[in-house]
A and B are shown apart, each in its own frame.
Chain A
Amino acid sequence: MSKTPILEIKDLHATAGGKEILRGINLTVYPGEVHAIMGPNGSGKSTLAQVIAGRDLYGVTSGEVLYEGDDLLTLAPEERAQRGIFLAFQYPVEIPGVSNLYFLKAALNAIRKRKGEPEVDAMDFLSLVRRKMALMEMEESLLNRAVNAGFSGGEKKRNEIFQMAVLEPRLAVLDETDSGLDIDALKIVSNGVNTLRGPDRAIVVVTHYQRLLNHIVPDYVHVLAQGRIVKSGGKSLALELEESGYAGIEELAEAVR
């Protein structure tokens, strides 16, 4: 049985501000899998997430990224999103004057339009949104507030996963979604992510800490250091890292430079 990987990254190099951050990333993610990317600060974890999303602050200098077998790097960010790629941002921005409800409906309709579907029915959308708000234990009044306006860091992260739950992406990339979350918020967010798991989807969890992976249990763990994946393993690798810290990893990264 051979399935097309949802995501295939081959020897990816990327720079920002003239500095090389990704130095040859190789990663293959099949449908149904959850991969964790861990690493010390400055390793390039967030850069990897943003390059997948198509942020043009980062220049890809060589390598390939295939999404469902197609070249991803030639696609604009909105085209990637419409094809089912979702990035849960590390620092979600506020959009004054634009309600969460309006924003999310616009996003869902953009995806539906690409699929040739009509705009979502207002009542259907409201009931979908209500279900997902309940899942994320968010108050309905937040729907009428401006996107992320006045939200605490934790609430912004929950809002990211709420949006993800509504948009039902094929590939979800979570960029340090756990940072700034207390244990209760972490459980709610993890539950939301786990609800999305399925045989046709893939999730890439970028995180610094092992704690999140107790709740979103990965199939594979990759350790990123100095722009390269230096070690890969199963979920036990995350526990090993927690015990030993990143010091050993940095040494490993130096050794393979």
Chain B
Amino acid sequence: MKNTSSSVEHEASTSKIGEDQIFYCRQRGISTEDAVGMIVNGFCKEVFRELPMEFAVEAQKLLGVSLEGSVG
């Protein structure tokens, strides 16, 4: 959990981390579009994990966050 909050701080404070992540994905053959989708999806999942269950479920539905590639 402490890991998640520090990662949120990172995302809020710099866009360079996003750029590095996108390049990392592209270097593995994944297009920019797919990379951004994957990274945002992953980021949202981490955030939702911190929410009370009922909010998390609604938030997931609203944002169409996929359950694929789920962590933990």
Contact = CB atoms under 8 A, between A and B. Distances in A.
A78 B31 contact: yes
Interface string A96-131: 111101111011001100100000000000000000
B28 A96 contact: no
Contact of A92 (B24, B32, B71): B24
B12 to A, nearest CB: 13
Which of the listed residues A78, A87, A98 has the most CB atoms from chain B within 10 Å of its own CB? A98
A201 to B, nearest CB: 17
A110 B33 CA distance: 13
Contact of B27 (A53, A94, A99, A145): A53
A96 to B, nearest CB: 5
A167 interface: yes
A97 B3 CA distance: 12
A95 B29 contact: no
Contacts, number: 97
Interface residues of B, number: 30
Contact of B34 (A94, A99, A101, A106): A106
What interface size band does chain A fall in?
35 or more
B27 A95 contact: no
B3 A82 contact: no
B30 A78 contact: yes
Contact of A93 (B20, B29, B41): B20
A99 B24 contact: no
8 contacts: A53-B27, A77-B27, A95-B21, A95-B42, A96-B43, A98-B71, A99-B69, A110-B28
Interface of B: 3-4, 7, 17, 20-21, 23-32, 34, 38-39, 41-46, 68-72
